[in-house]
Amino acid sequence: MDIFTLIRQKSETQPDQLAFSDAEQGDNITYRQLIDHADKVAAGLIKRGCRQGERCGLILAEGAGFLISALGILAAGLCLVPIATFLPRQEKESLIKAARLHWLYHRNRRLSRLPYAQPLDGQNDEDFRACAPAYIRFTSGSTGRRKGILLGQQAIIDRLNAANEVLQIDSTDRIWFALPMADHFIVSILLYLSRGATILVISEREYWRTSSRRWCPTVTYGSPDFYQALTHSEIGSLDSLRLAISTASPLSPRLALDFSERFQKDLNPALGIIEVGLLTINTRPDKLGSVGLPMPAYAVTLVGEHGKPVQPGELGELQIKGPGLLNAYLAPWRPLSGLLQQYGYATGDFARADADGYLFLAGRGKNRLQVNGVQFFCEEVETILNTLPGIEESRVFLDSNSQTLSAEIVGSPGTAEQLTELLLQRIDARKVPRRFQVVKSLARTPNGKLRRS
């Protein structure tokens, strides 16, 4: 079984159900139309000479055209490699070469054959093809070089099943999708379509009020920035909403409370890991600051520096066993079998669990600092800084020249002396930055994450 066949089967049972709607572009596509259009794309690809198992990049603007083209690539039996249009040209070219694409589907749906199609695995792509390759996604590169991650057909299906055990998406759902398709395609777009739901894209704020009234969304899926804008918009009530999922970056407790007060609905932070899938979701409003419980399909162990599981409240690295893990890393090729440790895949994310098993993220291993004998994560200090008056966001780092703990701050935070005094009331003095710099904005990756490198 492959993911496109699952979507095709759903279309056969509900051909006239709306699959996709874009309020801004006026696109309304039923499941029958979606499959028909995708089949035509697939037929064109095969006619041009595309062969099953080859890698095909996709660079198209967000919307119906992107969705149809992506599904057409999958329908043709190719491995889909979406590349966001907002990436700089040099970065796009780097990803194209790293994936060693055979084909590129781009501008006005034009197909180009590429000269980069060397084997990925050192075995003339035999190991690659053995995975039933379906999807390659690159990490954000916030701490360094982007890594390519391969998912086969079974890994995708397993991920969807694991997530939907909790999310319970079905054909009655109307999902307000507010993230880039090129970055959020597996346990989002493909999940919704394989369960027969309707995907709503309402990008422009001028359409929010009328579109939400018309479609009555049951699920929202977006970043904290989206929910911040939604909370302060003129949109009316969201009485139809049963699940609001916040992902892509940490959700502040203040925003969770503001959203709940505004709409009388909980805002549920979730942790998605490219190598794993949707790992956790927090459905407990009394567990502010937590990313929630792991999905039932996953066994999550927090492993300490000694290599053994830690106790509740202690810091450990998330290691994961379960369905849908990546098949391999690319460039260089590293299969899953060579990545697993005693307790599963080591994520590089560090967290603490409370007595109920709810996870509280501390930070990425690469963002761990040691200053004056104390170890801590940049994210720990940023979380506190971002709650102080006048601060919109912050980035904590160790200055490479002076080796001074420093912070960049967006907003109007007051004097350095005032910031220091407030921080000393909340955290160990050794974690307090010695230098603060107010900036207009923080450096980010093209995907919107803080750039740490």
pLDDT tens digits, one per residue of 371-411: 877 778 888 888 889 889 999 889 998 887 888 899 999 99
Is 143 within a domain? yes
- Helix spans in 198-351 (H): 208-215, 224-231, 253-263
Write down the pLDDT at residue 284. 95
Write down the pLDDT at residue 431. 87
Residue 447, pLDDT above cutoff 80: no
- Retrieve residue 218's tokens: 């049951």
**Both 121 and 245 in a single domain?**
no
Name residue, tokens 């509740």. 312
Distance in angstroms (rounded) separating the CA atoms of residues 212 and 91? 36
DSSP per-residue letters across 137-175: EE---TTSS--EEEEEHHHHHHHHHHHHHHH---TT-EE
Most confident segment among 1-10, 110-119, 357-366, 437-446: 1-10
Domain containing residue 272: 158-313+355-365
pLDDT tens digit string along 19-31?
999 988 889 999 9
Q: Alpha-carbon dihedral of residues 170, 174, 178, 181, nearest 10 degrees?
A: 50
Name residue, tokens 């491995």. 79
pLDDT tens digit string along 340-377?
999 999 999 999 999 999 999 998 888 888 787 777 88
Is 82 within a domain? yes
**Both 239 and 193 in a single domain?**
yes
In angstroms, the Cα distances linking 136 to 16, 77, 79, 149, 240 are 31, 14, 7, 5, 35
Distance in angstroms (rounded) separating the CA atoms of residues 146 and 90? 13
Peptide bond into 332 cis (omega under 30): yes
Is 347 within a domain? no
**Both 167 and 294 in a single domain?**
yes
Distance in angstroms (rounded) separating the CA atoms of residues 352 and 166? 22
Q: How confident is the model at residue 58 (pLDDT cuts 50, 70, 90)?
A: very high
Residue 141, pLDDT above cutoff 80: no
**Both 390 and 410 in a single domain?**
yes
178 alpha carbon, distance to own chain's centre: 12
**351 closest CA partner among 451, 279, 248, 443:** 279
Domains contained in the chain, number: 3
Write down the pLDDT at residue 138. 92
Instruction: Measure CA of the first residue to CA of the last residue in the chain; give whole Å.
Output: 41
Is 199 within a domain? yes
Mean pLDDT of the region 159-180 = 97
Report the chain's mean pLDDT, rounded to a whole number. Answer: 93
Write down the pLDDT at residue 38. 98
DSSP, res 343:
T
**Both 124 and 181 in a single domain?**
no
Check if the beta carbon of residue 120 is closer than 8 Å to that of residue 331. Answer: yes
Write down the pLDDT at residue 204. 87
Check if the beta carbon of residue 162 is closer than 8 Å to that of residue 278. Answer: yes
Is 339 within a domain? no
Distance in angstroms (rounded) separating the CA atoms of residues 315 and 302? 7
Is 330 within a domain? no
Residue 387, CA atoms < 13 Å, CB-side half-sphere: 15
**Both 48 and 77 in a single domain?**
yes
Q: For 55-168, where are the E strands, in sequence order?
A: 55-58, 79-82, 103-106, 110-113, 133-138, 148-152
Residue 143, pLDDT above cutoff 60: no
Q: Backbone dihedral region of 45: left (phi > 0), alpha (psi from -120 to 50 degrees) or beta?
A: alpha
**Both 246 and 200 in a single domain?**
yes
Write down the pLDDT at residue 266. 97
- Retrieve residue 415's tokens: 């004097």
Distance in angstroms (rounded) separating the CA atoms of residues 440 and 384? 20
**DSSP tally for the chain: helices H, then strands E:** 12, 27
- Retrieve residue 282's tokens: 């927090």
Is 190 within a domain? yes
Share of the chain above pLDDT 70, in %: 98
Share of the chain above pLDDT 90, in %: 75
**Both 225 and 360 in a single domain?**
yes
Q: How confident is the model at residue 100 (pLDDT cuts 50, 70, 90)?
A: very high
Sheet-wide strand order for 133-138: 110-113, 103-106, 55-58, 79-82, 133-138, 148-152, 328-330, 334-335
Q: Which of 154, 181, 201 is the last residue of a domain?
A: 154
Is 324 within a domain? no
Q: Which of 109, 139, 154 is the last residue of a domain?
A: 154
**81 closest CA partner among 116, 61, 105, 109:** 105
Q: Which of 154, 185, 213 is the last residue of a domain?
A: 154
Write down the pLDDT at residue 142. 55
Mean pLDDT of the region 239-265 = 94
**99 closest CA partner among 45, 149, 152:** 149
**Both 149 and 200 in a single domain?**
no
**Both 268 and 386 in a single domain?**
no
Give the domain CATH number at 82. 3.40.50.980
**Both 90 and 105 in a single domain?**
yes
Residue 40, CA atoms < 13 Å, CB-side half-sphere: 8
pLDDT tens digit string along 283-329?
999 999 999 999 999 999 999 989 999 999 999 999 999 999 999 99
Pairing of β 359-364 and β 344-353: antiparallel
- Retrieve residue 276's tokens: 């794993």
Give the domain CATH number at 258. 3.40.50.12780
**Both 74 and 92 in a single domain?**
yes
